[in-house]
Amino acid sequence: MNRKLLIAVGCVAGIVGVCVMIAASGWFKERRENRQFIAVNNLTPERLIARCGSPVGDETKNLYPIIARDLTYKSESRGTVVFKFTKTAEESSDWVFASMQDSEGATEYESPTEKISALSCLDSRK
């Protein structure tokens, strides 16, 4: 009787272990996606420079009542990438991350994963 109980407990533990492993992989994926989302959506010119270093190009345009700032970086895999930020001309205004695209404007990076794959220094783990 004890032997059958041990086998049953072992089977249940095995099933629970497999379920935990399956759930853990989903949890790790969700955690990575949340980290990438936060890293990209909290982006300002200052945070971008702090994380990725000096850009190869930095252009600010006063288009009253909006100020636009484009920071250009050389991507490891995708050529040149332009980050576009805007803010109102008011002194207390904060920068807003508007878009990220290649230098020709042909490719726009939409998802956090696309943005981080184009410029890996955006990843908050690094």
Average pLDDT taken over every residue of the chain? 83
% of residues, the chain, pLDDT over 90: 34
Residue-wise pLDDT for 42-91, tens only, equals 889 999 999 999 999 999 999 889 999 999 999 877 789 999 999 998 88
Q: Residue 29: what pLDDT?
A: 67
Question: Total structural domains in the chain?
Answer: 1
Q: What angle do CA 74, 112, 57 make, to 5 degrees?
A: 25
Is the confidence at residue 126, as pLDDT, over 60? no
45 is in which domain, residue-wise?
1-126
